[in-house]
Amino acid sequence: MAAFIQLFISGLATGAIYALVAVGFMLLWQTSQTINFAQGEFVMIPAFFVLWAIKILGVGFWPAVGIAAIASLLILGVLFKRVIVDPMLKHGVLPLVISTIALSIFLKEAVKDFYSSQAQPFPAMMPSEDLNLFGAVISSQSIFILLIASAAVLGLNKLLNGTRLGRAMQATAQNPSVARILGIPVERMIMYTFLINAVLVLLASLMISPIYLAKFTNGDTLGLAAFIAAIVGGFNQVRGAIVGGLILGVIENLAAAYISAQYRGAIPLILLIVVILWRPQGLMGRAEERTV
């Protein structure tokens, strides 16, 4: 039982990180029909912004995080939208998918060629201690991740549902033309979702890099996890993506321990296929309408 709790909690922590990434992924899809195949690389990159700032500029950890935050907002938020997404929107979904695949190659290769192809140690935001809870040993880092992720999700929820700005963003996602008629600056709302995505991937990057080490290939698994979480939970609901992320993290951990460590990666994929075939709108999602 103690082992189960241990696995469950650490699974929840990883799941919370997946959830943040999945929420950002889904926001982009909702507001601008962008299936971001570079979302995993978006999580990998901010850690290298931090490392780069520490190495080149010689600043401490927290100032480096500040620099990474600015770089993420500018590059992964503003530049990504202006340079890649905006010119592509009129061409439809597939060319944009190809473009983001190319972007993911670009980011990976850039880190490999200009920084390092080796896994880099990454400083944790707080020291890791083992806590004893009902006989189970739980890392304080897991608790810390859960707290930060919950705070981020609650904050986002408050923003989307509790403020005028958030409701304007939701209106933009649901029906851009009507939103425009009602006087909502649709373009700016879309830009805000890109900025929110940039913040979410930055948080995820800061939390996951101390565990997995910063490496240019990290995005592969993270991106896949984000897709799966978003689809399993429901592609058009924020809470869907959160539930999806948590389920995914826990299932992955439990499957590795109780079913097969080799097929650890396979269980979420099977879950994905089953969910798509049985309930394509996701566990918590609404059905999308089909147009002729």
Partner 1 sequence: MMDFLTSRAFKGTVFVLLVIGLIVLPFFLRPFGLLLVAMWMVHAVAALGLNLTLGYAGQISMAQGAFVGIGAYCTGLMTLAGVPYPIAFLCSGVLCFAIGWVLGYPALRVQHHYLAFVTLAFSTLVFLVMRNEEWLTNGIYGLTDIPRPVLLGWNTGKAQDFYFFTLLMTSILAFCVWWIISSPWGRAFVALRENPVRALSLGVDTRRYTLMAFAMGSSIGGFAGALYAPLVQFFEPNSFSLTLSLKLLLMVIVGGAGTFFGPFIGAATEVLLPEWLRIAQGYYLIIYAMLVMVLMMFCPTGIIGLGERVIAHLRQKKISSERSAQAQAMGADTADKKEGAGQ
Residues near partner 1, by CB under 8 A: 29, 35, 84, 87-88, 91-99, 101-103, 105-106, 109-110, 112-113, 220, 224, 227-228, 231, 235, 262-263, 265-266, 269-270, 272-273, 276-277, 280, 292
Compute the distance between CA of residue 2 and CA of residue 11 in angstroms, rounded to an integer. 14
At 253 the three-state DSSP class reads: helix
Rounded to 10 degrees, what is the CA torsion of 244, 65, 131, 226?
A: 10
> Is the separation of the CB atoms in 58 and 281 below 8 Å?
no
Query: Given the complex with partner 1, which of 178 and 266 has the nearer CB atom?
Result: 266
- Per DSSP, the residues of 172-201 read HHH-HHHHHHTT--HHHHHHHHHHHHHHHH
Residue 148 CB, shortest distance to partner 1, in Å, is 28
User: What tokens does 8 get?
Assistant: 């469950």
Q: What one-character DSSP code corresponds to residue 86? A: H
Compute the distance between CA of residue 46 and CA of residue 49 in angstroms, rounded to an integer. 5
Residue 228 CB, shortest distance to partner 1, in Å, is 8
Please name the residue that has the structure tokens 């994929």: 269
Using CB atoms within 10 A of its CB, is residue 159 exposed (0-12), middle (13-18) or buried (19+)?
Answer: middle
Query: Given the complex with partner 1, which of 74 and 93 has the nearer CB atom?
Result: 93
Query: Given the complex with partner 1, which of 61 and 220 has the nearer CB atom?
Result: 220
Q: Which of 67, 79, 48, 63 is nearest to 197 (CA)?
A: 79
Residue 253 CB, shortest distance to partner 1, in Å, is 17
Residue 137 CB, shortest distance to partner 1, in Å, is 30
Query: Given the complex with partner 1, which of 54 and 111 has the nearer CB atom?
Result: 111
